[in-house]
Amino acid sequence: MDKDVSPGAGKPGALFLDAEALYKELLRGVGLLCQADTKLVGITSGGAWLVERLQRDLNLPGKPGVISSAMHRDDFAKRGLASSAQTQLPFDVNGAHILILDDVLYTGRTLRAVINELFDYGRPASVRLAVLVDRGGRQLPVQADFAAARVALGEQQSLALARAEDGAFRFEVKEI
């Protein structure tokens, strides 16, 4: 079940999100969404970290996919291409049931770019989306099939998943 999380834990105006607890909720939700032949695909970089761990924790065969939004972004000229942002899909996309994973869903623009990238590799039977956090603020008609939490942040704040050396997840909230 999706959880609503609001600012206020700790000091006034602070946001506390337990990324590890939300990962456990995501694990449960993804387990419910997966069919026997579902292929997991993580959006670089937070989503890629999530699918790596989900693939292992769900005991799924094969390797998960990683997908980059870089080549199809509408702000490519401003953001450029990151060297770590390379799409790797170690399975045939044609006819596959794809579950895309990301750390934070916000405007929907990254997901639009990722879907364009995915279709460059073939025509999947279905595409679903699961996210760790849905922060609202959509600019495109995009919705997650599962979100471990929903939070409200200001437009001048960014939320991103970070991963420690031991693999533990945490969130970083920054003013932009």
- Over the stretch 40-98, which tens digit does the pLDDT of each residue have? 999 998 999 999 999 999 999 999 999 999 888 676 555 555 555 689 999 999 999 99
Which string of b and e fits 74-91 if b means at least 16 CB within 10 Å? eeeeeeeeeeebebebeb
Say if residues 26 and 176 touch (Cβ distance below 8 Å): no
Higher-pLDDT residue of 79 and 168 is: 168
Burial class (CB in 10 A: 0-12, 13-18, 19+), 33: middle
**In the predicted model, is pLDDT for residue 7 greater than 50?**
no
Domain span at residue 11? 3-175
What is the reported pLDDT for 114? Answer: 96
- Helices (DSSP H) in 18-123: which residue ranges? 19-33, 46-57, 76-79, 109-120
Here the CATH number for the domain that contains residue 24 is 3.40.50.2020
Q: What is the SS3 assignment for 105-162? A: ECCCHHHHHHHHHHHHCCCCCEEEEEEEEECCCCCCCCCCCEEEEEECCCCCEEEEEE
Radius of gyration of the chain (CA): 16
**In the predicted model, is pLDDT for residue 168 greater than 80?**
yes
126 prior amide bond cis, ω within 30: no
If you search the block for the tokens 């999706």, which residue do you land on?
A: 2
Give bridge partners of residue 43 from the DSSP assignment: 67
Domain count, the chain: 1
What is the reported pLDDT for 70? Answer: 86
What's the rounded Cα separation, in Å, for the pair 101 and 78? 24
- Over the stretch 103-157, which tens digit does the pLDDT of each residue have? 999 999 999 999 999 999 999 999 999 999 999 999 999 999 999 999 999 889 9
Neighbours of 38 (CB within 10 A): 17
What is the reported pLDDT for 149? Answer: 97
